[in-house]
Amino acid sequence: MLLSVERISVYYGAVEALREVSLQVDEGQMVGVLGANGAGKTTLLKAISGLVPVKGGTIVFQGKELTGIPPHEIALMGVTHVPEGRGIFPTLTVEENLNLGAYGRPKDEVARAKERVFALFPVLQERRRQLAGTLSGGEQQMLALGRGLMRNPRVMLLDEPSLGLAPILVEEVFKTIRGINREQGVTILLVEQNARKALNLVEYGYVLETGRIVIEGPAEELRADERVRAAYLGGRAIRGR
Amino acid sequence: MITFIQQFLNGLTIGSFYAFIALGYSLVYAIMKLINFAHGDLFALGSYVAYSFLVWSAAALASVLGLWGALVVAMVVAAISVAIAGLVMERVAYRPIYPAGRLPAVVSALGVSIFIENFIMLVWGPRYQAYRSSFVPVGYFQIGELRISVLQVVILISAVILLGFLYWLIERTTFGAAVRATAQDRETAALMGIDFRKVIRFVFTVGPALGAIAGVMVGLYYRQISFSMGWVYGLKAFVATILGGIGNIPGAMVGGILLGILEAMFAGYVSAAWKDVIVFLVLMLILIFRPRGLLGEKVAEKV
């Protein structure tokens, strides 16, 4: 198991954001975490990348315990977190953003990684000297993904990559993510509100509700699951949210 | 015309002092969103450390390295000592109260300011101290009626070199990009593998060191230093920081130089006694008409 989360809980002050959440990601897999707004999806990714402290439970990556390790060291271990809202640095150039994706790596390695990213996203090469904040939403998402690939990550945590994008771009971003997983062989943990799209992409999925995993299973099983269909796949809405 | 050139050069000189000090405010603000009110006093501390160092060793050093060599050594000593003071200050006065929010940190900064100022007064006394003529270079260039001291030329050249180096470091290297990224979004910067503590150490080392260098230059230029000088220079450099756009590194340089020139011109053509007034008038005008400063980016922040 590449990444294994065992019964972790996270609190914001007295508020419980995650309760005893467990999930497993195998090498080369693409795993999805679905759930409504506020279900704790972002918190789960932040817990893995060390941005929020975990109370109880363990997170093991490549046999190493991640809890308690500061986020920058977790990043250097090969866990790349592409945060919600893309997290690009708007007043830095496209190229500077990419360079930071491989921060701390030797120069020639950074240059090679950049070549690979440019091959994948030619538009970034055209705009390398532009300030990242001047890119369109779709291009910014490309930049965020490209920057995430700069370090040759073992696993990528993607937080709502489709957020705020036009439907046609959503399609393209998901296609890119599939490519990153299938062709580049990068393991991916994908967090999505767009359950229908996500379930077409991932092999295995978890459904998060108010901080707890309520359903899990292979994607095709989830697609067929009555509860999932009702709450997330636009079947008849049974509940208010 | 002579007055103009003379005042312009004077303005550039004072302006580079302000720019050096302003950089310290801006670097710390960019990363910590903290206005380090103790920064002016670190500048004064640098001036005093170099003063004592020169009193103690100028003669011996000068006989080996020459006067300029001795001054360079004094500057390095002051820069290193004050950088250490800056790191200690961060550790003792700021780090323990970061979790409490931004305002308590500002109060703590004011406390550190009072502490350093009184520390200087207790160690070196409340009277003015004078950089002795034996360790201040005296030569000058005479071009027609224009008279420029060698010291002034050296100050200006070292300012260009130092500011240029810092500009290159912050704006052109990947480390600089990491500092700017941290300033924009600390969490995401950490996700890039950037160690926040390392960036904090950087700003609390480089800022105070530059302030100390300005302190030594002011001592050599005006010859007279006092324990309260940090307050005056600190405040003016802070105005320069706002003028250029707080948190913006080129902005601090531009703001400092502009403010120096403005002050010198006002002193030369209107009234020397009122030159401090113009500085704070600039502050008011900039706050009213362009609160983000000349080169400042959007100040719209999530609160």
Domain for residue A102, yes or no? Answer: no
Domain for residue A12, yes or no? Answer: yes
- Residue A103 to residue B190, Cβ atoms within 8 A: no
Q: Which of A77, A88, A100 to substitute to test the interface with B, most B CBs within 10 Å?
A: A100
For the whole model, what pTM was predicted? Answer: 0.89
Q: Rounded CA gap, B154 and B137, in Å?
A: 10
Cβ contacts (< 8 Å) between A83 and chain B: which residues?
Answer: 187-188, 191
- Encode pLDDT of A158-189 as tens digits: 999 988 888 889 999 999 999 999 998 999 99
Q: Give the closest-approach CA distance of A151 to chain B in angstroms.
A: 9
Cβ contacts (< 8 Å) between B185 and chain A: which residues?
Answer: 87, 89
- Residue B185 to residue A87, Cβ atoms within 8 A: yes
- Residue A100 to residue B189, Cβ atoms within 8 A: yes
Tell me which chain B residue has its CA closest to the CA of residue A49: B191
Name the residue among B174, B188, B195 with its Cβ closest to that of A87. Answer: B188
Domain for residue A139, yes or no? Answer: no
Place of tokens 């990153």: A180
Name the residue among A51, A72, A87 with its Cβ closest to that of B193. Answer: A72
Name the residue among B184, B193, B297 with its Cβ closest to that of A103. Answer: B193
From residue B172, alpha-carbon distances to A95, A150, B164 in Å are 11, 19, 11
Cβ contacts (< 8 Å) between A110 and chain B: which residues?
Answer: 174
Q: Which of A72, A92, A94 to substitute to test the interface with B, most B CBs within 10 Å?
A: A72
A204 has which bridge partners? A31, A218
Domain for residue A224, yes or no? Answer: yes
Count the domains in chain A.
1
- Residue A89 to residue B184, Cβ atoms within 8 A: yes
- Residue A71 to residue B191, Cβ atoms within 8 A: yes
A16 has which bridge partners? A11
Of A203, A142, A133, give the one whose Cα is nearest residue A173. Answer: A142
Q: Which of B175, B187, B191, B201 to substitute to test the interface with A, most A CBs within 10 Å?
A: B191
Q: Residues of A at the B interface (Cβ-Cβ below 8 Å)?
A: 49-51, 70-73, 75-76, 80-81, 83, 87, 89-92, 96, 99-101, 103-104, 110, 147, 151
Checking DSSP bridges between strand A187-192 and strand A155-159, what pairing results, if any?
A: parallel
Q: pLDDT at residue A237 above 70? A: no
Q: pLDDT at residue A240 above 80? A: no
- Residue A103 to residue B194, Cβ atoms within 8 A: yes
Checking DSSP bridges between strand A58-61 and strand A3-12, what pairing results, if any?
A: antiparallel
Cβ contacts (< 8 Å) between B174 and chain A: which residues?
Answer: 96, 99-100, 103, 110
Q: pLDDT at residue A224 above 50? A: yes
Q: Tell me what the mean pLDDT of segment A96-110 comes to.
A: 95
Tell me which chain B residue has its CA closest to the CA of residue A104: B193
- What is the per-residue pLDDT for A98? 97
Q: What torsion, rounded to 10 degrees, do the Cα atoms A208, A209, A214, A218 define?
A: -30
Q: Which of B188, B200, B297 to substitute to test the interface with A, most A CBs within 10 Å?
A: B188
- Residue B184 to residue A101, Cβ atoms within 8 A: no
- Residue A100 to residue B192, Cβ atoms within 8 A: yes
Question: Which amino acid is located at B263 in the chain?
Answer: E
Query: pLDDT per position in chain B (303 positions), as tens?
Result: 888 999 999 999 999 999 999 999 999 999 999 999 999 999 999 999 999 999 998 888 888 888 999 999 999 999 999 999 999 999 999 999 988 988 999 999 999 999 999 999 999 999 999 998 888 888 899 888 888 999 999 999 999 999 999 999 999 999 999 999 999 999 999 999 999 999 999 999 999 999 999 999 999 999 999 999 999 999 999 999 999 998 889 999 999 999 999 999 999 999 888 888 999 999 999 999 988 888 876 544 433
Q: Residues of B at the A interface (Cβ-Cβ below 8 Å)?
A: 174, 177-178, 180-181, 184-185, 187-196, 297
Taking the alpha carbons of A177, A180, A181, A182 in that order, is the dihedral positive or negative?
A: positive
- What is the per-residue pLDDT for A65? 95
Q: pLDDT at residue A239 above 50? A: no
Q: What angle do CA A44, A12, B191 make, to 5 degrees?
A: 45
- Residue A92 to residue B196, Cβ atoms within 8 A: no
Decide: B101 and B189 in contact? Cβ < 8 Å: no
Three-state secondary-structure class, residue A11? strand
Decide: B205 and B83 in contact? Cβ < 8 Å: yes
- What is the per-residue pLDDT for B222? 94
Domain for residue A175, yes or no? Answer: yes
Q: Tell me what the mean pLDDT of segment A137-146 comes to.
A: 94
Tell me which chain A residue has its CA closest to the CA of residue B180: A92
In which domain, by residue range, is A21 found? 3-86+155-232
Name the residue among A75, A87, A89 with its Cβ closest to that of B193. Answer: A75
Tell me which chain A residue has its CA closest to the CA of residue B297: A91
Radius of gyration of chain B (CA): 19
The CATH number of whichever domain residue A44 belongs to comes to 3.40.50.300
CATH topology of domain B2-289: ABC transporter involved in vitamin B12 uptake, BtuC (1.10.3470)
% of chain A exceeding 90 in pLDDT: 80
